[in-house]
Homo-oligomer: A and B are copies of this chain.
């Protein structure tokens, strides 16, 4: 395709937590935007979003609103993506979809730019953005896999409420305030149990075998993005944190990686900051990711219960690298590879 100087970009779900972050990421990265078009549900009609200082009218997303759009970034849930992503693609936009709707579709690339940018080359109009937990794990595991060959992953997550959207975000706030002043929570609207000062081992719906859909996402997306031979078992847990996901990751590799080698590989890898200095109590935590693009890795330890084992603690901003930032980086990579 012929390269343009500037692109018309739509964000579907532009008023949500992730949608707002997408807008500000496009701004701060100076993405070459000609027209910015905020789209969403019926309630978007008549609203305005300021992009690079200029007011942009919002519309209810339908076929007409995708006309003339080059890149459409979706973050409006699976149902909206299912219905509207093919329409946007038919109208000539390249879709970058943040929902789980198209991720395992063999016709749609599933991309973390640091891991598998080459998969963008075979896109058919819809590119899927992986699950937040998968993205940060694979950014950190890619250099280790290239060096030593990962065979098996055992991962337990500590996921913040912002991944569930605004209702959950406000739910944690309101529940916490009530619990601190009265010792109980009367309204647990955000989740089926209280999330304030609690941990919920349940993210997305339960599936066969007792695993959740979130857990299967980590298993299957890892295969599609990094290596189809890797076996992953996951336990995904919601914790009372506003922003930032943590992962306790145990890997078994074909070849030995020492703690020192892992640190060396991770320090050289893109989009990673190693924070691992036990002598000075330095390790990453979710509160550190508030204004951070990079994924933080610490608590790197050789695991001698198997021949070649390693433990890691991987922390990232689920709204940025886990969603909006990765989507915009996909868009940037599309431009670099001349794919829009």
With a cutoff of 8 Å between Cβ atoms, the chain B residues found around residue A154 in the complex are: 154, 250, 305
Question: Which residues between 235 and 259 of chain A lie within 8 Å of chain B, taking CB atoms?
Answer: 235, 237, 239-242, 246, 248, 250, 259
Known interface pairs A176-B176, A180-B176, A233-B305. Does A197 touch B241 (Cβ–Cβ under 8 Å)? yes
For A, the interface residue count at a CB cutoff of 8 angstroms equals 56
Contact across chains for A210 and B276 when beta carbons are under 8 A apart: yes
With a cutoff of 8 Å between Cβ atoms, the chain B residues found around residue A100 in the complex are: none
With a cutoff of 8 Å between Cβ atoms, the chain B residues found around residue A279 in the complex are: 206
With a cutoff of 8 Å between Cβ atoms, the chain B residues found around residue A309 in the complex are: 233
Known interface pairs A158-B239, A210-B300. Does A305 touch B246 (Cβ–Cβ under 8 Å)? no
Q: Does A278 reach chain B (CB closer than 8 Å)?
A: yes
Chain B nearest CB: distance from A133 CB in Å?
14
With a cutoff of 8 Å between Cβ atoms, the chain B residues found around residue A240 in the complex are: 197, 239-241
For the complex, what is the distance from the CA of A300 to the CA of B276, rounded to whole Å? 33
Q: Does A46 reach chain B (CB closer than 8 Å)?
A: no
Contact across chains for B202 and A283 when beta carbons are under 8 A apart: yes
Contact across chains for A235 and B285 when beta carbons are under 8 A apart: no
Q: Does A198 reach chain B (CB closer than 8 Å)?
A: yes
Known interface pairs A176-B176, A206-B279, A281-B192. Does A299 touch B241 (Cβ–Cβ under 8 Å)? no
Known interface pairs A193-B287, A279-B206. Does A311 touch B235 (Cβ–Cβ under 8 Å)? yes
With a cutoff of 8 Å between Cβ atoms, the chain B residues found around residue A210 in the complex are: 259, 276, 278, 299-301
Contact across chains for A209 and B259 when beta carbons are under 8 A apart: yes
Chain B nearest CB: distance from A231 CB in Å?
4
Known interface pairs A210-B259, A210-B278, A259-B210. Does A232 touch B305 (Cβ–Cβ under 8 Å)? yes
- Residues 205-236 of A, flagged 1 when their CB comes within 8 A of B and 0 if not, give 01001110000000000000000000111010
Contact across chains for A248 and B156 when beta carbons are under 8 A apart: yes
Among A192, A197, A302, the most chain B Cβ lie within 10 Å of the Cβ of: A197
Q: Which of B193, B201, B287 contacts A298 (CB 8 A)?
A: B201
Contact across chains for A278 and B206 when beta carbons are under 8 A apart: yes
A interface residues with partner B (beta carbon < 8 Å): 152, 154, 156, 158, 172-173, 176-177, 180, 192-194, 197-202, 206, 209-211, 231-233, 235, 237, 239-242, 246, 248, 250, 259, 276, 278-279, 281, 283-287, 298-306, 309, 311, 313
- CB-defined A-B contacts under 8 Å, sample of 6: A192-B281, A193-B287, A198-B241, A199-B286, A201-B246, A237-B248
